[in-house]
Amino acid sequence: MKRVRRIPKLTPRADDAHKGDFGRVLVVAGSATMLGAAVLCARAVLRAGAGLARVALPADLCGLLPLAVPEATTCDRRRATLRTHLGESAAVVVGPGLTATAATRSLVESVLELTRAPIVLDADALNVVAPLAVPMATQAPVVMTPHPGEAARLLEISTDDVQGDRPAAAAALAQRSGAVVVLKGAGTLVCDGARFFQNRTGNPGMATAGSGDVLSGVLGALLARGLAPFEAACLAVHVHGAAGDAARAARGVEALIASDICDGLGEVLPA
């Protein structure tokens, strides 16, 4: 595989730009016990420069999210509603905080079926497609963002096997899935089966709840802004780690939380 070292760049904003120029992201995330995952993901979408963010939630939670992210809009998760909003979106993020249920399986399968825009598959959405024996049934470009345990479930191997040869695990996932793979962890790897990129930013303080939700939101925003999946993934892991480094400088490695990473994006974008 070819090793890529160059960090992609964002196109500077025109002076007469408007929000429609920077893409709409649909975030399919959150549940009664993990609404915070949807909050973090939506905030990261907007902090990373997407023009609009809409969050698909259980109907009884739609009124709560704007209290935490007033810039985002919401919709329910009925299939007809999803079909409409998926068709209007430049990128989709699905998975953070969904929980592992039959309803989640049906929801993720609907997103894969109905979406044509690039999809970020994270967290419980990855459990729906595991174990991964053949490419996923979707016409959309996909970026999957497993941590080592999720990668092990997808590949039907042990977490120790994944960590013992991370480049091989990322390449195997890319080849089986047809997706761009972001294998999270120290030295996060991005692989599309032909190229790989190893991230050099970030610190141990980022090993905290919600950090991955922020990464998924950043990635969704960059896809909505028109970057190709591999390039969007490389830039996303770089700026996510750099924002974490900015947060460490401000808060310290032990006190760092995911919201700090999100807030630190303003210090490292554009990148």
- pLDDT averaged per 10 residues, the chain (length 271): 93 93 97 97 98 97 97 97 97 97 96 97 95 87 98 97 98 95 97 97 98 98 98 98 97 97 94 65
Q: Into how many domains does the chain fold?
A: 1
- The pLDDT score that the predictor gives to residue 271 is 65
CB contact set of 66 (below 8 Å; sequence gap of 6+): 72, 73, 74
| Assigned domain for 122 exists | yes
Note down the domain range covering 130: 22-268
- Span 85-127, pLDDT tens digits: 999 999 999 999 999 999 999 999 999 999 999 999 999 999 9
Answer whether residue 80 is part of any domain: yes
In a domain? residue 16: no
Question: What is the model's pLDDT at position 133?
Answer: 80
> In angstroms, what CA-CA distances link 238 with 56, 95, 138, 265, 269?
27, 21, 28, 11, 10
- CATH number of the domain where residue 63 is located: 3.40.1190.20
